[in-house]
Amino acid sequence: SQAILTPHALYISGQLPALPSGELPAGSSMGHKTSLCIANMRAILEAAGSDLSRVVKTTVFLTDMKNFAEVNEEYEKHFGVGGAPKPARSCVAVHQLPKGVEVEIECVALPGGGVKDDEEGDEELERRAKG
């Protein structure tokens, strides 16, 4: 599943740096790849009626820790904005990731409080999960 919504949490599976078409952009910077992972998380959060400000935990998977600084620079543009607390975060070096990507990000968020109410979000999440 792309995500599981419970009454108390929204669990989002690892998101790859893919365009909405599913294409993986070749030759883009780690900052751009990180922004794509976060954009994909944002789309799922909003579909479920939540948003980035309600993310409480992220896990970043990197195939090379030399990319941490560039990933972190982009990550900080999206979390802790406007005085919102930054989520707890783990960063893990891995041997490889699906489809040969260099970064993948997963998260846990609080449900609701986002751009859609919970009922609309549930329907949208189910629609997205079916493809």
What are the residue numbers of the active site? 91
* DSSP secondary structure code for residue 117 in this structure: -
SS3 state of residue 120: helix
Contacts of 99 (CB under 8 A, 6+ apart): 16, 24
Burial, 22: exposed, middle or buried (Cβ in 10 Å; 0-12, 13-18, 19+)? exposed
Q: In what order do the strands lie in the sheet with 103-109?
A: 3-5, 10-15, 103-109, 55-62, 88-93
